[in-house]
């Protein structure tokens, strides 16, 4: 049985995959405010909006409407880990890992370097494909729907490691 009680700290790329495919609703329905967005991630979302990715505005709206959770600011202990991690990662990924490690959460990232850091830090992680697969396993999404969502993500620029969720389930 999946552990839905743990907070998930989403990085910008993973949030963007769902937002650009117009399916942020999957995250709000599945995790609600357990889907945490750090302030550093919101800064990256703002950068994306300035760069012209208007679909990312739905991330800010979801946080503002409390459909996604705004993570508490980093504590001093979390900031110490964050400073260590930003030597290798962008601020968003570093903030997610620092938060998840010290708060017992799970990082949601598709970034290889961030996943490597999670492994080194003993932090659980998943990503876009893992979420789509989990939605199929628990029957939240049908396999054809998950494949169609993945197709929309790929069309929006996601460099997916697989082409079909139905090949994984």
What is the DSSP secondary structure assignment for residue 6, as one 8-state letter? Answer: S
Decide if 133 is inside a domain: no
Q: What is the pLDDT of residue 5?
A: 79
* Domain around 69: 8-128
Q: Give the Cα separation of 153 and 157 in Å (integer).
A: 6
What CATH number is associated with residue 39? 3.40.50.1010
Alpha helices in 51-165 (DSSP H): 57-64, 76-85, 91-103, 112-121, 128-137, 143-155
The predicted-structure confidence for 40-92, as pLDDT tens digits, reads as follows: 999 999 999 999 999 999 999 999 999 999 999 999 999 999 999 999 999 99
What is the pLDDT, as a whole number, of residue 169? 83
Q: Evaluate if residue 3 carries a pLDDT over 80.
A: no
Q: Tell me if 111 sits within 8 A of 13, measured CB to CB.
A: yes
Considering the domain boundaries, does residue 143 fall inside one?
no
> In whole numbers, what is the pLDDT of the chain averaged over residues?
95
Per-residue burial over 39-63, b = 16 or more CB atoms within 10 Å of its CB, e = otherwise: ebbbebbeebeeeebebbebbbebb
- What is the pLDDT at residue 1? 38
User: Is residue 149 assigned to a domain?
Assistant: no
Question: How far is the CA of 40 from the CAs of 82, 98, 152, in angstroms?
Answer: 11, 12, 26
Q: What are phi and psi of 106, to 5 degrees?
A: -120, 135
Q: Indicate the pTM of the whole model.
A: 0.94
């Amino acid at each position: 049985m999946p552990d839905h009680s743990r907070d998930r700290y989403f990085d910008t790329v993973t949030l963007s995959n769902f937002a650009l495919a117009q399916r942020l609703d999957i995250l709000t329905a599945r995790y609600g405010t357990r889907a945490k967005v750090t302030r550093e991630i919101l800064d990256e979302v703002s950068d994306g909006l300035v760069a012209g990715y208007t679909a990312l505005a739905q991330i800010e709206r979801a946080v503002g409407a409390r459909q996604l959770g705004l993570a508490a600011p980093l504590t001093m202990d979390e900031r110490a880990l964050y400073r260590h991690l930003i030597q290798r990662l962008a601020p968003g990924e570093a903030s997610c890992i620092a938060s998840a490690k010290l708060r017992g959460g799970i990082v949601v990232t598709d970034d290889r370097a961030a996943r490597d850091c999670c492994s080194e830090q003993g932090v659980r992680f998943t990503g876009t494909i893992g979420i789509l697969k989990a939605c199929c396993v628990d029957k939240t999404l049908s396999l054809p729907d998950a494949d169609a969502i993945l197709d929309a993500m790929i069309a929006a620029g996601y460099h997916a490691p697989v082409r079909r969720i139905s090949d994984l389930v």
